[in-house]
Amino acid sequence: MPEQPGVPIRSLLIIPSKILPNTSTLTANDLRPQADFYALQTRLNADILDMSALEGNSLPLLVSLLLRFSNCGALALLAYARRKDYDIMFSNAENIGIPLALLFRLSDRSPVHAMIGHRLSAGKKRLLLRAARSRIHCVFVYSELQRKVAADLLQLNANRLLLIPFHADQRFFRPLSAGNSGPQGMPTICSAGLEWRDYATLLRAVDGLHVNVCIGAHSPWSRQSSGIEGGGVTLPPNVCVKQYGYAELRTLYSESAIVVVPLKQNDFQAGITVILEAMAMGRPVITTQTDGMAPGLINEENCLLTPAGDANALRSAISRLLENPSEAKRMGDRGRETLLNTPGMTLDGWATRIAETMTALVKPDTYLPKTAAAGNDSASAERKSS
């Protein structure tokens, strides 16, 4: 629906998780990064629909029935019921976006529907995306491989299928002064996250190495197991595993000489959250070269890339940076420069790009901002150079 003069665009952000009530307070007190959906909400003056809307006893009957089988399906149905109230609906992931698009096929009228596509290449998703594509008007993806998958499945024009960088809150994750010596004066390195992590290779790489290793094997978004806790794995004596809150994780990054993100081979941007948080803090990063690597990571410039499953190569990269602190500092500084200077890689830039792109779809006479239109080409070029 084109915007009428004097009538603001009505937007709804659909978030496939429950927003904790103290999120804004923690952000204001510098205890957690700003949630990306709040950054986007500010730019669109949008309403938010999250999993907390499924609580209580006043849900429509069909939503209550569907809730027994699928939380995301029930939330999509709740959003569908509000379709006439909004000009734009933004699905924060495909687990909401696909069922919502399928529901939109039941109606002659639907709002502009934009979606983040994290990993569209899974078999079941491919089938459903083909069925839903007429009601998906814009997709944002974070890796070149996923862009190619989306282009094949959805057949969207270039200004409706955008390869954009992932993001980090550069205000929360900022360089901090801290020592990086652990117990017995050993340097500290760290790792974090769950999605497609290869901690087994990291453990082999650091076994016997003169370094203190801290692993935060936890993620609020992933259902995968770390493969460490409860997996019969014997930790080397220089390794500890625990769960870190946001503020604790930031402190861990600042105290670490290196942030290592070991990954299994995969076809999407696994690990990018931790990678960009570390880069935002000016910490040198070592990660795995994968098929689905996000744009902006350039080997030997703003990170070191090692082959998947190669513990010897990973051990060599860790030793190299520990033995050459000036090189490690240069790489960390370059990482933060990359984040600050790449359009859309900061949280502010990400939210602005998505908001402007969606607004341009609602208002046909509005040109896409140069950063949104040109971002595809620059991001692809960065990917090729890495």
Amino acid at site 301 = E
**Secondary structure of 190-218 in the HEC alphabet?**
EEECCCCECHHHHHHHHCCCCCEEEEECC
- Which range of 108-117, 222-231, 326-335, 360-369 scores highest in mean pLDDT? It is 326-335
User: Which DSSP state fits 322?
Assistant: H
Beta bridge partners of 181: 187
Mean pLDDT for 28-33 is: 98
How far apart, in Å, are the Cα atoms of 210 and each of 67, 114, 312? 51, 49, 15
Give the start-to-end residue ranges of the domains of the chain.
Answer: 11-165+343-385, 183-341
Is residue 79 within 8 Å of 108, Cβ to Cβ? no
The answer to whether domain 11-165+343-385 and domain 183-341 are alike in fold is: yes
Q: Is the pLDDT of residue 327 over 50?
A: yes
What does the pLDDT read at residue 369?
42
Percent of the chain residues topping a pLDDT of 70: 87
pLDDT band at 185 (very low <50, low <70, confident <90, very high): confident
Q: Is the pLDDT of residue 125 over 90?
A: yes
What does the pLDDT read at residue 380?
35
Mean pLDDT for 232-249 is: 89
What does the pLDDT read at residue 311?
97
Q: Is the pLDDT of residue 367 over 50?
A: no
What does the pLDDT read at residue 54?
96
Q: What is the reported pTM?
A: 0.89
Average pLDDT over the chain, rounded to whole? Answer: 89
Cβ neighbors of 61 (< 8 A, separation 6 or more) are: none
Of residues 364 and 251, more confidence is placed in: 251
Mean pLDDT for 144-154 is: 95
What does the pLDDT read at residue 56?
85
pLDDT band at 354 (very low <50, low <70, confident <90, very high): very high
Q: Which CATH architecture is the domain 11-165+343-385 placed in?
A: 3-Layer(aba) Sandwich (3.40)
What does the pLDDT read at residue 386?
32
Mean pLDDT for 193-197 is: 93
Q: Is the pLDDT of residue 375 over 50?
A: no
- For the stretch 65-97, pLDDT in tens is 999 999 999 999 999 999 999 999 999 999 999
d(CA 163, CA 259): 26
User: Which DSSP state fits 369?
Assistant: P
* Pick from 3-12, 67-76, 221-230, 344-353: least confident: 221-230
The domain 183-341 is placed in CATH, from the list 3.40.50.300, 3.60.20.40, 3.30.70.1140, 3.40.50.2000, at: 3.40.50.2000
What does the pLDDT read at residue 223?
58
Mean pLDDT for 124-132 is: 94
Q: Is the pLDDT of residue 110 over 90?
A: no
pLDDT band at 183 (very low <50, low <70, confident <90, very high): low
* Pick from 3-7, 57-61, 354-358, 381-385: least confident: 381-385
> What is the DSSP code string of 26-93?
HHHTTSSPPPHHHHHHHHHT-EEE-GGGG-SS---HHHHHHHTT-HHHHHHHHHHTTGGG-SEEEESS
Q: Is the pLDDT of residue 248 over 60?
A: yes
